[in-house]
Structure 1
Amino acid sequence: MEQVIQAIEALLGPQGCLIDQDARRPYESGARYGNGSAACIARPANVEEAAELLRLCARDKIRIVAQGANTGLVGAASPDRSGRDVVLSMERIKGIVEIDPVDRVVQAYAGTRLSDLNQALAPHGLCFPIDLGADPSLGGMLAANTGGARLIRYGDVRHNVLGLEALLMNPPGQRLDLTNRLRKNNTGPDWKQWFIGTGGAYGIVTQAVLQVHPLPQQCATALVVPASPEAGLLLLRDAERHFSDFLTAFEGISHNAMQSVLRHLPGMQAPFEPLPPYAFLIELSSARPRSADFDLEKLFGAWLEACFGDLILDAVIDKPEVLWRLRHAISESVRHEGKVIAFDIAVPRSRLAAFREEAVALVGRGYPGVGVFDFGHWGDGGLHFNLVVPQALMEVCSEERIAVLRQEIYDLAVRKYRGSFSAEHGVGPFNQSFYDRYTAPEQQALAAGMQAAFDPERLLGATRFMSAQ
């Protein structure tokens, strides 16, 4: 490894190869999971250096783990504990290649942050509307196929990628140019899809070509208390019928999640007194400017008023930034409550209320004292079913008992409700055993065959779609 590190340092220079333990540390630990130890952190300044790094590591069969902003939650961008992995940080390969307002397309390098992308798009009246609690890089967003709170309107990352460029490991360093910007291109397999949502296991994305959307000119937001658990889905259906494409978010927030934000976010005021068992954050937006003939706030207010009684018990209409601050603060606030057992689940949205009710009952029946602090994307069937083990229960709630609880929840979601164990976070080492447990053998065999074709020596990434043997 010493010779490999010396070769990497000679290729990338002292700023491109971090060896010191303190300098490596931020890259070795994920946002929530995935603490490891890397041989070094490689930070190429351009795609050519990254390609040469792949060739260098392939010669000595050194595994490369690509990393963007390191905001993932399944350990897919973290090294293992062997001290032999090279972390390939894409943070220096960033910037906008081109913005085309007519095509509504942006081409950018993989290390570009979402916030920087939207800052560059704003003067053109455009945005990339994948709404996340973190500020990821484009490469990481493609690798994880991120979704976010506005998926109901704009889809996930996969639905907004027109093309990409990737580096392959077969042959090492091969540059695959798939950067066309066509919305219609039916000329064979859609090869870019093999690099989206696969955690860097098939290749390393270096550029992305994205379709972007008009920047909203008006927005209306409300936090709504449903008349019953079933009323939430009725509200969703009615909102879609009434507002069609203007409906951009329909987010559910539990009592415990709201209470946690009020406890831990300074200056946050309670939207309701007392807090309800559950509430929905509903957002409408439009790129059409507000006018006397078209005012979303007035249209929204009239609809909410018509729903009172049968579907709605209470509602707060406020500035979007105020209500979204409550929604986006949940994950960080819940971490202060105790040990978090996080689930990123999806079920058919028609069955989301039933699943949630059964899952809450399962926890209460078998694990008294464990709190449910859930919130979710009801518009697309996603649920962040966060459980919290209070400090007082840590001694009796062992890791083995938590593992049993986790499997019970996933069995319920996947086997009974035909859902997913990973709605938007991906596979990665943290979810590997669940991929092995729930993914059909025929599907695993196909994915493993493709991984073997793209990366015969299995030198790319921390996500495994093939046998570990």
Structure 2
Amino acid sequence: MDALLGALRGIVGDGHVLTGGDLGAWERDWRGRARGKALAVVRPACTQEVADVVRATAAYVQQHPDCGIGIVPQGGNTGLVLGSTPDESGTMLVLSLRRMQAVRNVDATNLSMTVDAGCIIDTLHECTSAQGLWLPLSLAAEASCTVGGVLSTNAGGTRVLRFGTARDFCLGLEVVTATGEVWDGLRGLRKDNTGYDLRQLFIGSEGTLGIVTAATLRLYPAPKACWVAWADVPDMASALGLLERARYSLGDALTAFELMDRSALDLVRKHRPALRVPLYPSGAYAVLLEYCATDAGMRAPLEDTLAAAMQQGCATDAVLAENARQSRAFWQVREAIPEAQAQEGPSVKHDVSLPLGAMSSFLDATAAALCAAIPGVRVLHFGHLGDGNLHYNVFPPEHVDGRAFVRDEEERINDLVFAQVTAHGGAIAAEHGIGSLRARRLAQVEPPVAMAMMHAIKKALDPTNLLNPGRVLLHSVQNPCMEKRPCLP
């Protein structure tokens, strides 16, 4: 493999092919759940270097079909399903796109921007804001996650209710294929029916079909004002009632509707005591609403919506942020939940989506099944209720070791939770992707005809399974040695 590493150094420079030493930043997943072993970390600076790296690696694999080498594309490495870290084989090349951070173009007339895949989402927020434009894509990891990773997983975030997932922001892509060719689909058109929509094929494919190197993103005029409210709601039916009323009365100006159960807020108060929960729920839930308008004087519709909700019993109480600082403080409580969970200790996490009409039934049935199977288990859930996305997490009973609990009970808990998700017409992956963590589960829950189509697409675009092997699909291989690679747990 020295010959390949030498060729890669000739492409990206000696200092950008990293081997040995501490590669933990690239080998360890964001949660610290697992660590793989990379053959090397390769850090290209531009699309042509990515193409040359892929071409050189593909040629080496063709000459050495038993080498087991694969390419794992990586952006900010903030994924949650073990989709961008190497396995334990020591034969994976981590292709880090973090050096590719150019903003190629901002087009205020077309309301679009074209950027490299390594650009950080927060940086793009700053760039567009300075020009009176708005990229409403908002995620918990936006200070670290990259455009390429967000598109490769079709990430969602807090404003899917109004603006959709990452897919809906993407007007064009530039992709390096498994043969090292470059597909330039960056035209940024809103209407383009010239053949199959290849762009949509690559979005959400987690780097298994091609490597996203640049994207053209949809922008919006910056809103004149955004208001944030916090409501205390007694139960799920009331939360759904408030959502329905807010949708009809506020329309497209309703940009976020976040649900937090009392257990989630208990952890925030326990582990982040400096944060003040605006209204601690007297019932089961708190809801955060965001309302963005083109007129700075349009606060009244939100006030009227909350007043009507309280009259109808959908909300027990509500408070409206008085200024931007207070709005940010409300959001900080919601955004602190993942960190508070991590401080509480290991848990079994799920990122699922459900029809809104099935949400209450799912929660009741799943909690009952879990408590019957593991008495004393603690369930916490929160998420983007406006689009049906729930983060459903299971903690061990009090005084039970968290690591041992996850090790011994994770598979049984997943069986119980995903059985209820499927029974209620939901999906086992809402916005985090499949990676290697959910690859086996995907094959179990998806219909055979769907899996056959996915395998056919993978075989057509990457017949040697060079790109991100073992992610999404477990066994789409021509090279038999790929089957022998150990998967991360």
Match of 1:465 among 470, 473, 483: 473
Matched, 1:94 2:101: yes
Letter in 2 for 1:357: D
2:418 alignment partner, SS class: helix
Name 2:377's counterpart in structure 1: 370
Q: How many residues get paired?
A: 460
How far off is 1:18 after superposition?
1.1
Letter in 1 for 2:303: G
Name 1:165's counterpart in structure 2: 174
How far off is 1:220 after superposition?
1.6
User: Using a 3 Å threshold, how does the CA distance of structure 1 residues 332 and 380 change in structure 2: closer, same or farther?
Assistant: same
Name 2:320's counterpart in structure 1: 317
Moved over 3 A (4+): 272-276, 395-398
Letter in 2 for 1:152: L
TM-score by length of 2: 0.91
Q: Distance in 2 between matches of 1:194 and 1:234?
A: 36
User: Using a 3 Å threshold, how does the CA distance of structure 1 residues 430 and 371 change in structure 2: closer, same or farther?
Assistant: same
Name 2:158's counterpart in structure 1: 149
Bigger Cα displacement from structure 2, 194-203 vs 228-237: 228-237
Q: Distance in 2 between matches of 1:89 and 1:206?
A: 11
Q: How does 1:366-445 map to 2 (within 5 A)?
A: 366-389=373-396, 392-394=399-401, 397=405, 399-414=407-422, 416-445=423-452
Name 2:229's counterpart in structure 1: 222
Letter in 2 for 1:324: W
Match of 1:359 among 366, 372, 391: 366
Q: Distance in 1 between matches of 2:273 and 2:279?
A: 17
RMSD: 1.7
Q: Which segments of 5 or more consecutive residues in structure 2 lack a partner in the other structure?
A: 62-68, 477-482, 484-489
Contact 1:334/1:373 (<8 A) preserved: no
Contact 1:37/1:81 (<8 A) preserved: yes
Contact 1:338/1:390 (<8 A) preserved: no
Q: Which segments of 5 or more consecutive residues in structure 1 lack a partner in the other structure?
A: none
Bigger Cα displacement from structure 2, 321-330 vs 357-366: 357-366
What is the percent sequence identity of the aligned residues?
31
Q: Distance in 1 between matches of 2:157 and 2:472?
A: 24
1:384 alignment partner, SS class: strand
How far off is 1:437 after superposition?
0.5
Name 1:263's counterpart in structure 2: 270
Match of 1:290 among 281, 293, 296: 296
How far off is 1:9 after superposition?
2.1
1:15 alignment partner, SS class: helix
CA deviation profile, 1:92-133 (whole Å, cap 9, x unmatched): 111111000011010001000101111111122112211100
2:387 alignment partner, SS class: coil
Matched, 1:184 2:191: yes
Name 1:28's counterpart in structure 2: 27
How far off is 1:356 after superposition?
1.6
Contact 1:444/1:466 (<8 A) preserved: no
Name 2:307's counterpart in structure 1: 305
Bigger Cα displacement from structure 2, 227-236 vs 380-389: 227-236
1:189 alignment partner, SS class: coil
Q: Distance in 2 between matches of 1:391 and 1:181?
A: 53
Contact 2:376/2:398 (<8 A) preserved: no
Name 1:59's counterpart in structure 2: 59
Letter in 1 for 2:314: L
Letter in 2 for 1:64: I
2:82 alignment partner, SS class: coil
2:180 alignment partner, SS class: strand
Q: Distance in 2 between matches of 1:146 and 1:175?
A: 24
CA deviation profile, 1:53-85 (whole Å, cap 9, x unmatched): 111111222310000010111111110101110
Letter in 1 for 2:307: E
Q: Distance in 1 between matches of 2:283 and 2:450?
A: 43
Letter in 2 for 1:289: D
Contact 2:438/2:472 (<8 A) preserved: no
User: Using a 3 Å threshold, how does the CA distance of structure 1 residues 320 and 274 change in structure 2: closer, same or farther?
Assistant: closer
1:430 alignment partner, SS class: coil
